[in-house]
């Protein structure tokens, strides 16, 4: 074990000196773990704050009777828990992406170590140690970012009042619990990632072609869509607005699960259709999507949540004129759902952009040899950048359109129950357009983040053993 740790340390130092940017990936991995930890702490501390308010309700709720306050504070804990559940997948996915960074290059290096006599167990252990160390550093950075952002989070207004920093501070056992989950995730993602390739002394033996995704996913989508509409109408028809809200959010989660099922297949179909038209960059971008649609989907999957939230916002009132006449309790609830949705949206955008940047940077380092070869045959350097833009934009735009549609679909039971309360107001359109533009800009910026790495790979004049 001591030898493994020692070797791991020496290799990490060598990577940091690598001219083609392998060391930069270590930095990106730490950054990704930091974002993951930051978001995990933010989401957990928000939920914790609502749990605190269940025990000690804020002064702003004193106008309501005890029974109403209890019902309301319990509801907020459940809603926060659901928001947590919705964000767990993208946050964990980002952590997993960090653990898989530069996987191809890493697998080649590990194959060389197998050749000189290390066992399969030793190389996996070494990689897991590397990931856990990176995750631990990221965890500390993320925790610091969370602590620094507490005053900002405390400015959020829920239940008629802002949070206090004390409400948001996590108790030590919860903090340690989140940290332990994040470190375990890093270790598990690495071990799982390496199990997908057989690292033999002769190299990565399995570079198999990803099988095509099948069309049964469409049938599952149709069944799911019907279930959302019918289930939503049946349940909300016999319950109050509060329960309806819970059903609404639950159905939203179900809608996102369906998006996860259909989206990779749809991306594959779109990419294959797109092959027939457009420039070489368009061709290459679509080929990359079609070659591994699940990977393309992973890059933008967290934005499905963004799309669904935006879809939901289209039918939840945002304008005071629409809200006039609503009783105080429901007004507070609707306002807070709106605030929660915007917060969720911002988190999803950050996570989505970080995931895309990570995946693209990792891909550039993994493809360094291919980039150099293409450059040598005279392929314009702009081709890879343009292909990457297509590669992220096609999944991004199709994801947003599909998930927003499902978000609207999930909100339909509400529009049926209170048709006069739900309308597409000017501020709804503003949020809709702003989200689309924001998501697009962030994702394009994330793709462009690969430029320095690509330039570094291409500018390196490695003297071959000629």
Partner 1 sequence: MVEVNASGSNGGMTITDTAPTRHRVDPLTADGLVKRYGQVVALGGVNVHIAPGESVAIMGPSGSGKSTLLHCLSGILPPDEGRVTLGAVELSALSDAHRSRLRLQRFGFVFQDGQLIGELPARENVALPLLLTGVPRGAALRQADDWLARLGLPGIGGRRPGELSGGQAQRVAIARALIHAPSVIFADEPTGALDQATGHEVMQILRATARMTGSTLVLVTHDLQVARWCERLIEIRDALVHSDTRTEA
Is residue 287 a contact residue for partner 1 (CB under 8 A)? yes
Stretch that binds partner 1, among 53-61, 95-103, 233-241, 288-296 (CB under 8 A): 288-296
CB of 429 to partner 1, least distance (A): 39
CB of 337 to partner 1, least distance (A): 43
Residue ranges in 156-215 that form contacts with partner 1 under rule CB under 8 A: 207-209
Query: What's the 3-state SS for 305-355?
Result: HHHHHHHHHHHCCCCHHHHCCCCHHHHHHHHHHHHHHHHHHHHHHHHHHHH
Is residue 319 a contact residue for partner 1 (CB under 8 A)? no
Half-sphere exposure of 302 toward its Cβ, with a 13 Å CA cutoff? 31
Stretch that binds partner 1, among 8-16, 83-91, 283-291, 393-401 (CB under 8 A): 283-291
Name the burial class of residue 212, with classes exposed (0-12), middle (13-18) and buried (19+) by CB atoms within 10 angstroms of its CB. Answer: exposed
Pick from 109, 288, 388, 454 the residue near partner 1 by CB under 8 A: 288
> Closer to partner 1 at the Cβ: 140 or 372?
372
Measure the CA–CA gap between 454 and 20, rounded to whole angstroms: 9
Is residue 151 a contact residue for partner 1 (CB under 8 A)? no
CB of 342 to partner 1, least distance (A): 38
Q: How many other C-beta atoms are found inside a 10 Å radius of the C-beta of residue 380? A: 12
Stretch that binds partner 1, among 34-42, 220-228, 355-363, 379-387 (CB under 8 A): 379-387
Q: How many binding residues for partner 1 (CB under 8 A)?
A: 28
Judge contact between 96 and 189, C-beta under 8 A.
yes
Go through 309-334 and write b for each residue having 16 or more CB atoms within 10 A of its CB, e for each that does not: bbbbbbbbbbeeebbeebeebbbbbb
Stretch that binds partner 1, among 141-149, 353-361, 366-374, 433-441 (CB under 8 A): 366-374
Is residue 455 a contact residue for partner 1 (CB under 8 A)? no
Label residue 163 left, alpha or beta by phi (over 0 means left) and psi (-120 to 50 means alpha): beta
Is residue 369 a contact residue for partner 1 (CB under 8 A)? yes
Q: 3-class SS at 386? A: helix
Stretch that binds partner 1, among 55-63, 275-283, 309-317, 405-413 (CB under 8 A): 275-283
- Name the token pair of 64: 């309501």
- Name the token pair of 6: 């020692």
Name the residues that contact partner 1, by CB under 8 A.
Answer: 207-209, 276, 280, 283-284, 287-288, 290-291, 369-370, 373-381, 383, 461, 463-466
């Amino acid at each position: 074990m001591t030898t493994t740790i020692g070797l791991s340390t020496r290799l990490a130092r060598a990577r940091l000196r690598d001219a083609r940017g392998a060391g930069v990936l270590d930095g990106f991995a730490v950054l990704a773990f930091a974002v993951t930890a930051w978001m995990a702490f933010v989401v957990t501390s928000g939920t914790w704050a609502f749990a605190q308010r269940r025990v000690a309700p804020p002064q702003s709720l004193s106008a309501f009777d005890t029974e109403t306050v209890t019902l309301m504070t319990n509801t907020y804990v459940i809603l926060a828990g659901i928001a947590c559940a919705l964000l767990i997948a993208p946050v964990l996915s980002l952590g997993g992406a960090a653990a898989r960074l530069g996987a191809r290059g890493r697998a080649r290096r590990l194959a060389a170590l197998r050749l000189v006599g290390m066992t399969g167990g030793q190389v996996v252990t070494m990689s897991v140690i590397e990931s856990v160390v990176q995750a631990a550093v990221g965890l500390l950075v993320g925790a610091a970012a969370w602590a620094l952002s507490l005053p900002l989070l405390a400015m959020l207004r829920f239940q008629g009042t802002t949070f206090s920093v004390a409400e948001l501070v996590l108790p030590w056992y919860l903090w340690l619990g989140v940290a332990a989950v994040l470190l375990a995730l890093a270790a598990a993602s690495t071990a799982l990632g390496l199990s997908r390739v057989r690292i033999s002394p002769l190299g990565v033996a399995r570079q198999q072609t990803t099988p095509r995704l099948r069309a049964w996913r469409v049938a599952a989508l149709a069944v799911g869509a019907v279930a959302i509409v019918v289930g939503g109408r049946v349940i909300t028809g016999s319950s109050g607005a509060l329960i309806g809200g819970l059903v609404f959010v639950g159905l939203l989660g179900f809608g996102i699960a369906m998006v996860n099922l259909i989206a990779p297949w749809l991306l594959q179909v779109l990419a294959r259709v797109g092959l027939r038209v457009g420039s070489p960059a368009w061709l290459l971008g679509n080929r990359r999507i079609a070659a591994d649609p699940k990977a393309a989907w992973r890059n933008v999957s967290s934005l499905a949540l963004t799309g669904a939230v935006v879809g939901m916002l289209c039918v939840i009132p945002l304008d005071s004129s629409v809200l006039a006449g609503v009783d105080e309790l429901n007004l507070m609830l609707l306002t807070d759902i709106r605030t929660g949705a915007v917060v969720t949206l911002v988190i999803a955008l950050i996570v989505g952009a970080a995931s895309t940047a990570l995946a693209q940077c990792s891909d550039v380092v993994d493809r360094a040899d291919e980039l150099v070869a293409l450059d040598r045959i005279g392929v314009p350097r702009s081709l890879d950048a343009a292909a990457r833009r297509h590669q992220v934009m096609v999944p991004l735009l199709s994801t947003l359109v599909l998930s927003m549609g499902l978000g609207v679909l999930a909100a339909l039971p509400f529009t049926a129950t209170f048709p006069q309360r739900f309308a597409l107001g000017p501020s709804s359109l503003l949020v809709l357009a702003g989200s689309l533009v924001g998501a697009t800009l962030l994702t394009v910026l994330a793709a462009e983040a690969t430029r320095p790495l690509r330039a570094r790979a291409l500018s390196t004049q490695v003297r071959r053993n000629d």
